[in-house]
Chain A
Amino acid sequence: MVRYAYYPGCVAEGSGREYEMANRAVAARLGLELVEIEDWNCCGATPGHNTGHLLGLALPARNLALASGMGLDLVAPCAACYNRLVTAQREIACDPELQVLMGRLLGRDYHGDRRVLSMVEAVAAVGAERMKALTVRPLEGITVACYYGCLLVRPPAVIRGDDPEDPRLLDDLLRGVGATTVDWAHKTECCGAAQALPHEEVVLSRVRRILEAAVTFRADCIATACPLCHANLDQRQARVNRRFGTDYRMPVLYFTQLLGLAFGLNPGELGLGLHFVPTAELVRRIA
């Protein structure tokens, strides 16, 4: 059993509920104990750092301090939360003045000495052998387009561990449980992120391109590790079709949902009925 401090992020109880379900179920199967950080707060996401530099650092810093108090490394499943936590940690660590400032902002001593991992990294750390041993329904014959988006891989000076232009961690994980993954050019193309409400035209045009690329590569589904990417690709897919007269029906699954299926977990437990674009046909081919 490996224990982690767990930072679910604000959408875990809302629009990203199925990611949370799948993460918990898969973590249990992998022997990862996710101990939720008590009283965690929002990391501020894009609006935080867009509004003020210190605000964008201090909101995640409170969570880093809480995790440090637990004496555990931290896992953040949402790519945006993960990005903000790592960014804050690195920036503050490089600047003693910021460290003092954080104390003032937080009203408590700041320590940010625990490792921050994305869900992808935490799962990958379990190792290919063990993953293979747990696989009862290999994803054979399923072609997956792994979509990393922005915040799992950029900026490269801060977010390390995978190639920022051609990342492979997700591909390795899913191939490890039998899936075929495609070598496409849209792995890290931005989906429009938090512009869905302010500038939907950006999101729709980006999502269209990503879907088109996945179709071209004959992918059966797209795999993501970010609730914001997921919302744009899944929830807004019907709007893309309406706007551009297209007919995409591309299931968008969280990577832990796919792993969960391979481990023989039941689709309901993985939240597979909670998507906008139906996943039933794909699930039938696996389960």
Chain B
Amino acid sequence: MLVLSGRGQEFANRVSLESGQPVQQCYQCGKCTAGCPAASFMDYAPHQVIHLVQLGLEEVVLSCRAIWVCTSCYTCTARCPCRIEVARIMDILRARARRKGLHRGQRAALFADLFLDSVRRHGRLHELELGARWGLSTGQPWREADLAAGLVAKRKLRLRPPRIKGVEEVRRIFREAARLEEGEHG
């Protein structure tokens, strides 16, 4: 068995603790990867991501593309013979990458930011605004134009932003959640 010392061990332990998943019990069977819809688009396949955690290679795993290409489909979680919730670990890794600023430049992180910013401001998602801001932020404002035109023609894009009465409550959730997560993980 591989015995890690120092920072590597600490990282593996923290991920285990935070995710509630016994990361060290993974025996690298590869079943998670076999069913993963995004594996062929990843730099490290799901079982390799878990291996990187086991090895304590924090920088590598938090900077990888794999955790951002993951679709959160839970196939890995459903099938792991060790009952390791791999998708949950992916969540934890994304959140840690964010706290270290290693999410910058990842398209899925940008998408999540824009999505959640819309929710924070209106209480619900404004699809049109998300699409427009995505186009501008990625420098490809016309990429989705054909679909947007189709949606507008079918009146399937709401023009005015939604607004709920409890929008302040929603903002409070965002604020408090960020503060608590920050405090918990330093």
Q: A51-B98, A52-B177, A194-B111 are in contact. Are A10 and B164 (CB under 8 A)?
A: no
| A198 and B138 alpha carbons, distance in the complex (Å) | 10
Interface residues of A in 30-72 (CB under 8 A from B): 39-42, 44-56, 58-59, 62
Given contacts A17-B155, A107-B172, A164-B78, contact A42 B124 (CB under 8 A): yes
CA distance A189 to B134 in the complex (A): 27
Known A54-B177, A55-B173, A62-B170: A198·B107 in contact at CB below 8 Å: yes
Chain A to chain B: the 5 pairs with minimum beta-carbon distance, closest first:
A47-B112, A190-B73, A154-B74, A198-B107, A190-B37
Complex alpha-carbon distance, A13 and B151, angstroms: 12
The docked-state distance in angstroms from the alpha carbon of A151 to that of B75 is: 10
A–B Cβ pairs within 8 angstroms, 17 of them: A42-B119, A42-B124, A50-B112, A52-B95, A53-B95, A54-B177, A55-B116, A55-B173, A62-B169, A104-B180, A154-B77, A155-B87, A164-B78, A192-B37, A193-B71, A197-B107, A198-B107
| Given known contacts A42-B119, A156-B78, A50 and B37 CB-to-CB distance under 8 angstroms | no
Contact of B127 among A11, A106, A188 (CB under 8 A): A11
**Interface bracket on A:** 35 or more
If A52-B181, A62-B169 touch, whether A41 touches B119 (CB-CB below 8 Å) is yes
Minimum Cβ distance to chain A for residue B147 (Å): 6
Of B37, B87, B164, the residue contacting A39 (CB under 8 A) is B164
Which residues from chain B sit less than 8 Å from chain A, CB to CB? 37-38, 40-41, 68-69, 71-75, 77-78, 85, 87, 91-92, 94-95, 98, 107-108, 110-113, 115-116, 119, 123-125, 127-128, 131, 134, 144, 147, 150-151, 154-158, 162, 164-166, 169-170, 172-174, 176-178, 180-181
Contact A42 B41 (CB under 8 A): no
Contact B75 A150, beta carbon cutoff 8 Å = yes
Distance in angstroms between the alpha carbons of A106 and B172 in the assembled complex: 7
* Residues in chain A near residue B69, CB distance under 8 A: 195, 199, 202
Q: How long is the Cα–Cα vector from A52 to B98 in the complex, in angstroms? A: 9
User: Residue among B40, B134, B169 with the most chain A CB within 10 A?
Assistant: B169
Say yes or no for A15: interface residue by CB 8 A criterion: yes
**C-alpha gap A55/B112 in the complex (Å):** 12
Interface string of A151-164 (1 = CB under 8 A from B): 10011110000001
A200-244 vs B, Cβ < 8 Å mask (1 yes, 0 no): 011001100000000000000000000000000001100000000
- Enumerate chain A residues within 8 angstroms of B165, measured Cβ to Cβ: 39
Instruction: Please tell me if A274 contacts chain B, counting CB pairs below 8 Å.
Output: yes
- Smallest CB separation, B49 vs chain A (Å): 15
User: A199 is contacted by which of B74, B108, B150 (Cβ under 8 Å)?
Assistant: B108
The residue in B40, B173, B180 that gathers the most chain A C-beta atoms within 10 A of its C-beta is: B173
In the complex, the chain B residue whose C-beta lies closest to that of A83 is B74
